[in-house]
């Protein structure tokens, strides 16, 4: 197992017994090391950064020419990433990182066994400089802004990496690789690249395919010559996080066609199989990412993420993340809630509250109907949590946008929805989303429930795969090059489809045969 | 001509009309540039240093996507060295450098035409920290010593490069390449590599084959991403200057066997042809490099570099470099002087003064015979310039060492001296040395005079060739890999040969049939 992982890796540890120099073999130290690596492996040429090379003669002597060399395959050649004495434990580790706009997740991985040693998540410190991507791009264009955005991120990463390595009694020098996935803007900010043109027509990044560079060049406190691999982008709206997700889903290794959806303010959608891949991104509105005005929140402790309405008593059963008193509702909870309200006839097919059904739970505030989800005495905030008519409308717009994007892309690729073998839903949203509810409100096609697969943090999963495997790393670039990115033209036809999708579950009821309202008389 | 030089070069200028980004082609800026280079040339992949890549988006926009890219072939791939607007004059230039222990020579070259625009020589500023290589290696081992040796050199190079570019009204940014040749220690000091082990058994350098790195990494004030190519070494005593000399001589391109000799305190000797190359280095003593005790000096203004003795009048005709009043005598002058004294019978075959022949020009000082070469009233110093018996002995030891090294290496390689088609003598010494005189004292074999060819600054000539031509750059590494370096074992046989060579011209007079003493009766 150990050996296998090593051979499959693009970061490799090579034990070397190097013949010390003699009058008969006076090959120079650095050349001697390069030669020894060549002899021990199938690596033809190993590049050694010039400043690292300067240290090699004394290191070789200190280790008495018995060393472990760590090498990695970069963009164009193999490179030296580290040099350790042969004796003693010198395990090598790496970090897989998901650089989310809001949340960052790091995973510490043993590169020889593939074992996950630790995992940690924390808020992106850039939030202080801008909640969303657009604000950060604006911030970056101010004097010193880009540098600051990069610095707070690198600084925080260093702190977290330091904490994790300390917890495991590791030397930071034993970390010899990082693989990071993020959306296009996050990748730019991580690398200190100007994101200015990402949000301006014709929306192009500085770089799509990033060079593998070494850690010291970013100021990362791991082995200075450790490689930093950042997942490539397809374009401004199709980033490395999604490519990592595609990799993690395995959809490009199967003959059958799959869907992959990452839902946020933008819905990113990929359809394809081992032969072709089409991706698009479209505005889904903030509703599904906890963005409804009053009670919406990101998935996190205290967020209502599951809702069940008892058909008999009419009572709501709520589940919160971490079983904490409810503070608000996240996207998956909202979908459940709207679905249950619809099935119970408490909202009609247009999403409008049916007063006769809602009874006392409905109240008018400032002339707008509100449904009381959590009375004030039960909520964590002390205020009642309500869902207004406006918020339902917002959910309906989001679900309609989602369904329209899916319809449009299947039409464009000439795929019948019935052909879809797997429907992956990425992220926290995917982990909590109830497919039954999402079908009930007509957000996703009415397919067999077992087709819907939550992917979890697929960005982190893909980064982990790419960190460990040479084949996976290559696949990342293959995926990137193969994705056909289509612009969703919001034209008349799109708007017609969108209009039809604004009913619950849909104007064309025959598309959702499995949706059954409760027969409550 | 212009085109040809470009195609043959490893530093190339590529005019590019890049299609600006559009909604239909939203390739990222850096990827767009790389793609355009690929399309316009046979270069498959071009590496762009990450920090250079950061500047590309704004440069492309500033130049409206109409650019000249300068690329170079590095150790493992092609790299971007510069980016200029397409319009206007943006000629590109390079520097060839001979990094001598004593003297540094720079040549400014137009990379598109191959034209030499300027040349300058100056003393190596490291002399302040150590006259010779050994002292400098010692200095480098002291705290901060290596950094200081590198800093004074880089600093001086920057000043000289600044002066030259200013003289020609060039921007330092238009310098996009440097090719430097030096002995192994000088190359180490230039690059800031520790030379400690060069002079300690088993005498190995830090690096023999240096990576091509970019100028900013050395602090050179030219285009920051311009390549710096340093000629590789064969070993501690066979440096890049000699490899450059071999390249410049062309000996590796001919079927006939040639000799190449670089005479200094160490005599470096190479013998070979297009099929094989053997090199060695041996101590020749300081005599031939101006190191005789009293009147010796390096070749330079005021140094006697040519001596003729009028057989009739017995008067000495002296020629000095720059036609200045004589200050001392350099190696070539010394060889002339000793040869003339021998031919005139003023010294015998053992090099001892013949009083009856020398007459009043011979004087005893502190018990040692001195020959007055320049009376005090004619010398630049106001003191008489004399040649002592001891100094003649020193010349004889040097010439005997030289001849013995040549004999030994021909024996080792099983070459008859008669087979030698060309005998190259490098450096200032080679430029001034009179082959007739050198044969007369038995320093070099008694071959036809037209076989002896001064090479001039062959290190600089080789660096120039390697700067301009891809084939020459490749040849440099071929030469390096093909040289068999032999240690000259100073064993009994060597000592016997050396003893026999200590006569003028030689104990075996039949080896020097062309040497004819004057018949002065």
Residue whose entry in the numeric block shows the structure tokens 């302040």: B128
Three-state secondary structure of A82-140: EEEECCCCCCCEEEEEEECCCEEEEEEEECCCCCEEEEEEEECHHHHHCCCHHHHHHHH
Q: What is the per-residue pLDDT for B287?
A: 72
C-alpha distance from residue A278 to each of A245, A269, A407, A415 (Å): 14, 8, 13, 11
A54-68, A477-491, B433-447: segment of lowest average pLDDT? A477-491
- For A360-369, what is each residue's pLDDT tens digit? 999 999 999 9
Residue A305 tokens, joined: 């993420």
Bridge partners (DSSP) of residue A309 are A316
CA distance from start to end of chain B: 62
Q: What is the mean pLDDT of residues B365-369?
A: 92
Give the C-alpha separation, B329 to B306, whole Å.
Answer: 9
- For A428-468, what is each residue's pLDDT tens digit? 888 889 999 999 999 999 999 999 999 999 999 999 999 99
- For A191-201, what is each residue's pLDDT tens digit? 999 999 999 98
> What's phi and psi for B422, nearest 5 deg?
-140, 140
Give the C-alpha separation, B429 to B439, whole Å.
Answer: 15
Under the banding of pLDDT at 50, 70 and 90, the label for residue B2 is very low
Sign of CA dihedral B482, B488, B494, B499: positive
Q: Are strands B368-374 and B213-214 parallel, antiparallel or unpaired?
A: unpaired
Concatenating the DSSP letter of every residue in B180-202 gives EEE-HHHHHHHHT---GGGGSTT
Residues of B whose CB is below 8 A from A48: 211
Q: What is the per-residue pLDDT for B292?
A: 66
Residues of B whose CB is below 8 A from A217: 50-51
Q: Determine the distance in angstroms separating the CA of B60 from the nearest CA of chain A, rounded to an integer.
A: 11
- For B337-352, what is each residue's pLDDT tens digit? 999 999 999 999 999 9
Q: What is the mean pLDDT of residues A71-92?
A: 92
Q: What is the mean pLDDT of residues A415-431?
A: 92
C-alpha distance from residue A517 to each of A311, A355, A437, B480 (Å): 11, 17, 12, 84
Q: What is the per-residue pLDDT for A430?
A: 86
Residues of A whose CB is below 8 A from B235: 26, 28
Q: What is the per-residue pLDDT for A418?
A: 92
Give the C-alpha separation, A20 to A65, whole Å.
Answer: 6
Q: What is the per-residue pLDDT for A2?
A: 43
Q: CB of A190 within 8 A of CB of A180?
A: yes
A70-84, B5-19, B502-516: segment of lowest average pLDDT? B5-19
Q: What is the per-residue pLDDT for B23?
A: 85
Q: Which residue of B has its CA nearest to A481?
A: B27
More confident residue, A76 or B509: B509
pLDDT at A29 over 70: yes
Residues of A whose CB is below 8 A from B45: 75-76
Q: CB of A25 within 8 A of CB of B161?
A: no
Q: CB of A408 within 8 A of CB of A477?
A: no
Q: Could you tell me how many helices (H) and strands (E) chain B has, helices first?
A: 16, 22
DSSP letter, residue B64: T
Q: What is the per-residue pLDDT for B298?
A: 79
Give the three-class secondary structure for B17.
Answer: strand
Residues 6+ away with beta carbon under 8 Å from B484: B276, B277, B278, B279
Q: What is the per-residue pLDDT for A295?
A: 80
Whether B31 sits inside 8 A of A217 (CB atoms) is no
Residues of B whose CB is below 8 A from A47: 75-76, 211
Residues of B whose CB is below 8 A from A207: 28-31, 53
Under the banding of pLDDT at 50, 70 and 90, the label for residue A5 is very low
Sheet strands side by side (includes A368-374): A362-365, A368-374, A385-388
Residue A201 tokens, joined: 């027509």
Q: CB of B81 within 8 A of CB of B227?
A: yes
The residue among B20, B49, B50, B487 with the most chain A CBs within 10 A of its CB, best to mutate, is B50
Q: What is the per-residue pLDDT for A293?
A: 64
Tell me which residue in A30, A53, A75 faces B47 most closely, judged by beta carbons.
A75
Give percent of chain B with pLDDT exceeding 70: 97
CA distance from start to end of chain A: 62
Q: Which residue of A has its CA nearest to B211?
A: A50
Whether B192 sits inside 8 A of A77 (CB atoms) is no
Q: Determine the distance in angstroms separating the CA of A205 from the nearest CA of chain B, rounded to an integer.
A: 5
Residue ranges of chain A whose CB lies within 8 Å of a chain B CB: 21-23, 26-32, 45, 47-48, 50-51, 53-54, 56-58, 75-77, 191-194, 196-197, 201-209, 211, 213, 217, 233, 235-236, 487
- For B450-471, what is each residue's pLDDT tens digit? 999 999 999 999 999 999 999 9
Give the C-alpha separation, A389 to B448, whole Å.
Answer: 109
Q: Are strands A66-73 and A11-17 parallel, antiparallel or unpaired?
A: antiparallel
Residue whose entry in the numeric block shows the structure tokens 């490899």: B243
Whether B206 sits inside 8 A of A28 (CB atoms) is yes
A195-199, A515-519, B204-208: segment of lowest average pLDDT? A515-519
More confident residue, A160 or B297: A160
- For A95-132, what is each residue's pLDDT tens digit? 999 999 989 999 999 999 999 999 999 999 999 999 88
- State the average pLDDT for chain A: 93
Under the banding of pLDDT at 50, 70 and 90, the label for residue A286 is confident
Widest distance between CA atoms in chain A: 100
pLDDT at B4 over 50: no
Residue ranges of chain B whose CB lies within 8 Å of a chain A CB: 21-23, 26-32, 45, 47-48, 50-51, 53-54, 56-58, 75-77, 191-194, 196-197, 201-209, 211, 213, 217, 233, 235-236, 487
Whether B211 sits inside 8 A of A48 (CB atoms) is yes
Q: CB of B257 within 8 A of CB of B242?
A: no
pLDDT at B136 over 80: yes
Q: CB of B172 within 8 A of CB of B161?
A: yes
Bridge partners (DSSP) of residue A104 are A99, A122
- For B391-445, what is each residue's pLDDT tens digit? 999 999 999 999 999 999 999 999 999 999 999 999 888 888 999 999 999 999 9
Q: What is the per-residue pLDDT for B6?
A: 55
Tell me which residue in B47, B193, B235 faces A54 most closely, judged by beta carbons.
B193
Residue A358 tokens, joined: 């809602």
Give the C-alpha separation, A377 to B50, whole Å.
Answer: 57
Under the banding of pLDDT at 50, 70 and 90, the label for residue A3 is very low
The interface predicted TM-score (ipTM) is 0.88
Residue B258 tokens, joined: 């040639």
Q: Determine the distance in angstroms separating the CA of A251 from the nearest CA of chain B, rounded to an integer.
A: 25
Whether A207 sits inside 8 A of B31 (CB atoms) is yes
Q: Are strands B316-320 and B303-309 parallel, antiparallel or unpaired?
A: antiparallel
> What's phi and psi for B388, nearest 5 deg?
-85, 165
Residues of A whose CB is below 8 A from B32: 204
Whether B205 sits inside 8 A of A28 (CB atoms) is yes
pLDDT at B288 over 80: no
Q: pTM of this prediction?
A: 0.90
Give the C-alpha separation, A217 to A226, whole Å.
Answer: 10
pLDDT at A140 over 50: yes
Q: What is the mean pLDDT of residues A307-327?
A: 91
- For A361-406, what is each residue's pLDDT tens digit? 999 999 999 999 999 999 998 999 999 999 999 999 999 999 999 9
Q: How many CA atoms lie within 13 A of A127 on its CB side?
A: 11
Q: Determine the distance in angstroms separating the CA of A104 from the nearest CA of chain B, rounded to an integer.
A: 24
Give the C-alpha separation, B113 to B289, whole Å.
Answer: 37
Q: Which residue of B has its CA nearest to A30?
A: B207
Give the C-alpha separation, B32 to B30, whole Å.
Answer: 5
Q: Is B15 left (phi over 0), alpha (psi -120 to 50) or beta?
A: beta
Neighbours of A372 (CB within 10 A): 16
Concatenating the DSSP letter of every residue in A22-91 gives -SS----HHHHHHHHHHHHSS---EE--HHHHTTHHHHHHHTTTEEEEEEEE-SSSEEEEEEEESSS---
Q: Which residue of B has its CA nearest to A31?
A: B207
pLDDT at A489 over 80: no
- State the average pLDDT for chain B: 93
Residues of A whose CB is below 8 A from B193: 53-54
Under the banding of pLDDT at 50, 70 and 90, the label for residue A290 is low
């Amino acid at each position: 197992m150990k050996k296998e992982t090593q051979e499959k890796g693009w970061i490799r540890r090579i034990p070397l017994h190097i013949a010390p120099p003699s009058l008969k073999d006076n090959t120079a130290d650095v050349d001697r090391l390069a030669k020894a690596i060549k002899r021990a492996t199938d690596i033809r040429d190993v590049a050694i950064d010039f400043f690292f090379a300067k240290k090699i003669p004394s290191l070789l002597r200190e280790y008495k020419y018995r060393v472990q060399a760590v090498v990695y395959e970069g963009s164009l050649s193999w490179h030296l990433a580290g040099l350790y004495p042969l004796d003693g434990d010198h395990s090598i580790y790496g970090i897989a990182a998901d650089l989310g706009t809001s949340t960052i997740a790091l995973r510490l991985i043993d590169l020889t066994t593939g074992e996950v040693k630790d995992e940690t998540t924390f808020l992106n410190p850039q939030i202080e400089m801008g909640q969303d991507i657009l604000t950060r791009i604006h911030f970056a264009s101010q004097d010193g802004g880009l540098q600051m955005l990069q610095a707070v991120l690198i600084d925080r990463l260093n702190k977290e990496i330091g904490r994790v390595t300390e917890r495991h009694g590791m030397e930071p020098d034993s970390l010899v690789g990082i693989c990071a996935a993020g959306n296009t803007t996050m990748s730019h900010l991580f690398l200190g690249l100007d994101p200015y043109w990402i949000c301006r027509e014709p929306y192009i990044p500085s770089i799509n395919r990033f060079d593998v560079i070494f850690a010291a060049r970013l100021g990362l406190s791991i082995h200075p010559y450790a490689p930093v691999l950042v997942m490539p982008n397809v374009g401004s709206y199709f980033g490395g996080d999604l490519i990592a997700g595609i990799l993690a889903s395995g959809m490009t290794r199967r003959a059958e066609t799959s869907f992959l959806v990452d839902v946020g303010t933008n819905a990113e959608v990929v359809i394809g199989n081992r032969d072709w891949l089409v991706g698009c991104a479209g505005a889904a509105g903030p509703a599904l990412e906890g963005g409804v005005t009053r009670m919406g929140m990101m998935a996190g402790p205290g967020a209502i993420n599951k809702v069940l309405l008892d058909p008999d008593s009419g009572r709501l059963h709520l589940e919160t993340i971490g079983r904490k008193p409810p503070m608000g509702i996240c996207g998956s909870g909202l979908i459940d809630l709207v679905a249950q309200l619809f099935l119970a006839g408490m909202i009609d097919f247009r999403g409008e509250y049916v007063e006769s059904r809602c009874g006392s739970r409905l109240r008018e505030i400032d002339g707008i109907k509100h449904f009381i989800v959590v009375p004030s005495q039960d909520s964590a905030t002390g205020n009642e949590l309500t869902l207004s008519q406006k918020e339902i409308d917002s959910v309906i717009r989001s679900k309609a946008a989602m369904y329209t994007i899916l319809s449009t892309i299947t039409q464009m690729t000439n795929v019948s929805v019935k052909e879809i073998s797997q429907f992956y839903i990425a992220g926290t949203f995917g982990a909590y989303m109830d497919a039954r509810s999402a079908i009930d409100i007509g957000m996703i096609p009415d397919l067999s429930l077992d087709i819907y697969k939550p992917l979890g943090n697929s960005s982190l999963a893909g980064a982990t795969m790419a960190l460990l495997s040479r084949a996976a790393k290559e696949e990342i670039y293959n995926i990137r090059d193969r994705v056909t990115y289509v612009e969703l033209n919001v034209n008349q036809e799109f708007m017609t489809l969108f209009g039809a999708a604004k009913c619950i579950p849909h104007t064309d009821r025959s598309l959702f045969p499995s949706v059954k309202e409760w027969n409550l008389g």
